[in-house]
Amino acid sequence: MATKAAHKRLLREYEAIKKSPPPMITAHPSESNILEWHALLEGAPNTPYANGQYWATLTFPPDYPFAPPAIRMHTPSGRFQPSTRLCLSISDFHPKSFNPAWSVSTILIGLMSFMNSEEMTAGSVGGTEAERKWHAARSRWWNSTGGGSATKPVPGVHATTKGLGNIKAGDGGVKFRAEFPDEDKENWEWIAEHRIDPATGRILPDPEGETINCSPETKALRRILGGSTGVGAVVQGGQAARDAGQGWIWRNKVWLLGSCLIVYVMLSRVLTAGAD
């Protein structure tokens, strides 16, 4: 439970955010818990996250602002591990570096800035530009469906019982819909407009001989998501290739070490013979 000071401070900051929201960010506290905040970050232009919709939560301690919040990004982005505490100077990983003068807006702007950097820390991942564009293209679908149906697993989406406030892949978008009803409605209109399959995130083919939507955005989505390519194919394909390479080395490590030893012995003999 929040202290009176924390409750008063967070209410004041919410009013400030409603009056003057940070650029490309919307945020609000949960109706049931002033210490649990939900935010949507819009992917910045000219970045791999452009047009993406990223859902984050801030969990404030009861004695805020004298201690920082735990920060999690739930929407897969290729930049952060979903629903994992992030190690930032503005998060609970570094309570001694937190400045009580920093506001919720300051924290969210800092999160946006960190997202657009390449700095690595606990909770971040090193995705490629193509992977991040792929995640951005399906971010609205992921938020409003919870990553697809929990009863019909989708490649790259793993249902889990862990998460903050039942935020989990495969929950059908229940938590997102409760926190962002207007944005959820817009997302479903977007899903219908671009013929995205709600169960899989795949772009449905147009009926034979008929083009339903050929807008520039839909064409871009088809290029990124691959049209008939299943969700996860691009990302999983790249990871599978990396895993395959690592697996081959591991399986053949004995032969590789033996080959290196033979080459070393032969080179030693040649150099010794040359010296004589």
User: Which tokens in the block code for residue 20?
Assistant: 């003057």
Task: Find the helix packing angle between 233-251 and 129-137, rounded to 10°.
Answer: 140
202: its two tokens? 């795949």
Longest dimension (CA), the chain: 88
Neighbouring C-alpha atoms within 13 Å toward the C-beta of 211: 5
Residue 260 appears among annotated catalytic residues:
no
Which region holds residue 227: left if phi is over 0, alpha if psi is between -120 and 50, else beta?
left
Residue in the structure block whose two tokens are 């001694």: 96
- Side-chain half-sphere CA neighbours of 187 within 13 A: 26
Which one is catalytic: 24, 44, 87, 233?
87
Placement of tokens 């926190």 in the chain: 179
Q: Are 60 and 75 in contact (CB under 8 A)?
A: no
Which of 145, 144, 218, 148 is CA-nearest to residue 182? 144
- The catalytic site residues sit at 87
